[in-house]
Amino acid sequence: MKDLRLGVDVGGTNTDAVVVDGAGRIVAETKTATTPEPIDGIVAAMTAVIDQLDAAAHLGKAMLGTTHPTNAIIRRRDLDRVGVLRLAAPSSLGVRPSANWPEDLRDIVIGRSEITEGGFEYDGSPIAALDEDAIRRFASSCAGDVSAIAVSCAFSPACTDHELRAAELIAEECGDDMPVSLSHTVGSLGLLERENATILNASLLTVARRVVNGFRDTLMGLGLDVESFLTQNDGTLMTVEEADRYPVLTVGSGPTNSMRGACALAGLSDALVIDVGGTSTDIGILINGFPRESTAAVEVGGVRTNFRMPDLISVGLGGGTIVRQGVDGVAVGPDSVGYRVISDALCMGGTTLTLSDVSLAVGRLTGFGDPALLNGVEDSVCEAAIAWVDERVQVLCERMKASSTALPLMAVGGGAHLVPAQLAGISEVVWPPHHSVANAFGAAIAEAAGSIDKVYSYDASSREDCLRSATEEATDAAIRAGANASDVRITSVVEIPMTYVPGGGCRVIVKAVGPLAA
């Protein structure tokens, strides 16, 4: 019986891998240093963890959380050139596509762009008839100039007709080999942010293909015949085929994996989670076992988007963070030795004082390096550095909490040893078992999900009928994503009345989640 799951998560410092059995227990785990070419680290981690198994043939599913798309945007590398088509004229002509993008990213990504007639009002009525001739001309002009096309349409989440027809016309002109990203599959309401997310998605298609193919090739090279998935921003799964089409939905999956892993390892569903790596720290909050999603537009590489992302605060604090002593006192970070902490830290025979050295000196970290190599470091330097850490963690907890109620704090990640045992406003600090590989565990136990984000008219149909329709659509989407039909559950229903428009309009957001079908 293939009841084992392999979970892999690529971080800036370490690539972690675990194998989880059918009861949710970790039966093998490993941490390896992330490599300059991340796929090499993935291969090393997967090989190391599989070597610990007696029966690798029992592996049935493999899940990967990766930083490849995020790094491509941040580093401005390996991005595709994209043609941008907006269906919204005569409205929205005042703001061109990518108008607020960083100039360097715009120069790399944006090819031809055009705004043509089409689009809808919030209730699904058309702004204008779709200008099919203009779309054909645009598609013809893109041939040979761009690698992909992004199509956005006013209120496409309310009515997808124009985006779907535009995709058909582009295929007729450019052939089926031209990838087309449609905004209603990527973002939610908010034309400019949804358009931005769609353009980024289109620019990441080559990166996604490389990741997916590398993951598959690695599994095949290890002799594993398994179903493969990538983790999404909201802590759920997408098939590798979906990841090929929607890579932008994996941006931010790493911290989410850690939060979901912490939830399962500690048995807590409502808590703060702090994930301390070698380079950075992320803090978020779990509500009913899932990360609270950000309600504000999220910037990715300087671009405002509106696809679902966890509500996180990130700072430059980790085990590899560099500590310096100067004339003005002790300075901590934000730079880090990253994955070189295993060679560059003082306690490992290196020449750089890091927060891992400080944690070892004050007794928070054990089993790493040689404490005798820290004899030349003054106690006052370590005390000042660890006090800085404690203050930063306290501030992060206060910023993330929504009320004064004391909540537990779960500390995970390879740098979790830096978190103090007591903090104001925190009921307890918990280091779950296997906390250093919580991210990979979160990937391994992730579930399939479906969501719906639409505007309904409560005047045209009853509220109950609208909610029932949204719930059914979200459930169907989760089943299509691979969830077991009999175990799908609704995890959130959000209603946002649109009081500024007539017709009793209400934005309804429903999310359905379920374990993968066997």
pLDDT tens, 138-174? Answer: 999 998 889 999 999 998 887 889 999 999 999 999 9
pLDDT, position 401: 85
CATH number where 152 lies: 3.40.50
Query: Counting beta carbons within 10 angstroms of the beta carbon of residue 326, is it exposed (0 to 12), middle (13 to 18) or buried (19 or more)?
Result: exposed
Q: Which of 151, 169, 203 is the last residue of a domain?
A: 203
**How far is residue 17's CA from residue 439's CA, in Å, rounded to a whole number?**
9
| Across 113-129, average pLDDT | 87
In a domain, residue 145? The reply is yes
> pLDDT band at residue 73, thresholds of 50, 70 and 90?
confident
pLDDT > 70? residue 297: no
| Across 119-140, average pLDDT | 89
171: left (phi over 0), alpha (psi -120 to 50) or beta: alpha
pLDDT, position 75: 77
Mean pLDDT of the chain: 87
pLDDT digits 0-9 by tens, 382-404? 999 999 999 999 999 998 887 88
In a domain, residue 175? The reply is yes
260: left (phi over 0), alpha (psi -120 to 50) or beta: alpha
**How far is residue 393's CA from residue 276's CA, in Å, rounded to a whole number?**
10
Q: Which residues contact 213 (CB under 8 A, 6 or more apart)?
A: none
Positive or negative torsion for Cα 92, 299, 212, 443: negative
Residue 350 — φ and ψ, nearest 5°? -85, -165
Closest CA to 21 of 50, 59, 48: 59
Instruction: Work out the percent of the chain whose per-residue pLDDT is above 90.
Output: 39
**Residues β-bridged to residue 514:** 448
Instruction: Count up the domains in the chain and report the number.
Output: 2
pLDDT, position 501: 67
Instruction: Looking at mean pLDDT, say which of 5-14, 29-38, 246-255, 480-489 comes out highest.
Output: 480-489
In a domain, residue 163? The reply is yes
Please say whether the beta carbons of 162 and 87 come within 8 A: yes
In a domain, residue 160? The reply is yes
pLDDT digits 0-9 by tens, 361-382? 999 999 899 999 998 889 999 9
Q: Which of 203, 231, 249 is the last residue of a domain?
A: 203
Instruction: Give the helix, strand, coil percentages of the chain, each rounded to 5.
Output: 35, 30, 35
| Residue 92: domain span | 80-203
pLDDT > 70? residue 1: no
pTM: 0.81
In a domain, residue 429? The reply is no
Closest CA to 197 of 150, 159, 155, 157: 150
Please say whether the beta carbons of 18 and 49 come within 8 A: yes
**How far is residue 174's CA from residue 335's CA, in Å, rounded to a whole number?**
46
In a domain, residue 273? The reply is no
pLDDT > 80? residue 252: no
pLDDT, position 491: 85
Q: Which of 203, 234, 266 is the last residue of a domain?
A: 203
Q: Which residues contact 345 (CB under 8 A, 6 or more apart)?
A: 320, 337, 352, 353, 354, 356, 357, 369
In a domain, residue 433? The reply is no
> pLDDT band at residue 452, thresholds of 50, 70 and 90?
confident
In a domain, residue 246? The reply is no
pLDDT digits 0-9 by tens, 420-446? 999 999 999 999 999 989 989 999 988
